[in-house]
A and B are shown apart, each in its own frame.
Chain A
Amino acid sequence: MAGGGNAIAAVSPTVLALVAQPILTVVGTKRADGSLQLNPAWFEFDDGYFWLNSNRWRTWPKNVQRDRDITLNFIDASEPFRWASIRGRLAEVIPDPDHAFIDRLARRYTGRVFRELRPGEERITLKVEPVSVTGEMI
């Protein structure tokens, strides 16, 4: 465990190298009934924070906003048992009305801007503060 309490956890150079790659993160959140939800998501690590983006009406961003608790798991695709897990806390929710951030993420992963939004879709950016780091490669 690195960090703890309210401090922002230090992310080690090995984990930094992993999260610099355009791999998916697996987002772990809790539903209101305490059951677990796992979803794959795009992300970027910048300025000491993890940045994600979703549609405001999906379940996982609603879950995070309920208790601010989020776990992000990162797996090295070439070696699936090399992984790191970050326990994080939601620091801020930032509306993304011009899709600027989701386009930036889409370019990171696909080289293109994001698809056209669906009717009623509202993008939001979630800024996540790392609280502790666990895994096989810290």
Chain B
Amino acid sequence: MAVQLSSKMQEFTQEVYPAIIGTNRKDGSVQINPVWFEFQDRSFWINGGTNRGWFKHLQRDPRITLLLIDPKNMFRWAQVQGRMVNWAEDPGGEHINHLSHRYTGRDYQNPRTGRIKIQIQPERIKGSIDGWGR
């Protein structure tokens, strides 16, 4: 069941820091790595190469958890439990370039081929931004 973000949470997602994502490996262990993200149209959007371990994990088990944390103030954080609801090719790397501008202020410097964009619907949110125990 998708949830809506409070206005405070929505403001937090507009700040620039990587999302730390957790995915389920085949052997049951948890993989954690940072990725660029944006929040738009009630979904989180991330971008990756089809050969990424975490994308393969999501194809098998679409459950994903994002930890959003302010690197300058570690007590400001939110945990978003979500689900990959859609993914699509990113022809020409338009989306990765868009994310690159959000994070670096300039064009994406690496090859823009073979990229995909992934839509994540938030299902549960906890953490210090939105109050505890929600």
B-binding residues in A (CB < 8 A): 24, 26, 28-30, 34-40, 67, 69, 71, 73, 75, 77, 80-81, 83, 85, 87, 134-135
- Do most interface residues of chain B lie in helix, strand or loop, or is the interface mixed? strand
A interface: dominant SS: strand
Assuming A30-B30, A38-B67, A80-B34, is B20 touching A75 (CB within 8 A)?
yes
Contact B32 A35 (CB under 8 A): no
* Contact call B18/A81, Cβ cutoff below 8 A: yes
Stretch at the interface among B5-13, B38-46, B71-79, B86-94: B71-79
Q: In the bound complex, do residue A36 and residue B28 qualify as a contact, i.e. CB atoms below 8 Å apart?
A: no
CB-based A-B contact count at 8 angstroms: 76
- Using CB atoms and an 8 Å cutoff, list the residues of chain B in contact with chain A: 17-18, 20, 22-24, 28-34, 61, 63-67, 69, 71, 74, 77, 79, 81
Contact of A80 among B18, B30, B31, B77 (CB under 8 A): B18
Contacting residue for A35 out of B17, B33, B65, CB 8 A: B65
A residues within 8 A CB of B71? 75, 77, 80
Chain B contacts of A40 at CB under 8 A? 67, 69, 74, 77
With A and B bound together, what is the CA distance between A134 and B31 in angstroms?
Answer: 9
Q: Which residue of B lies closest to A78 (CB)?
A: B71
Alpha-carbon gap, A134 to B28, bound state (A):
16
Q: How far is the CB of A47 from chain B (nearest CB, A)?
A: 24
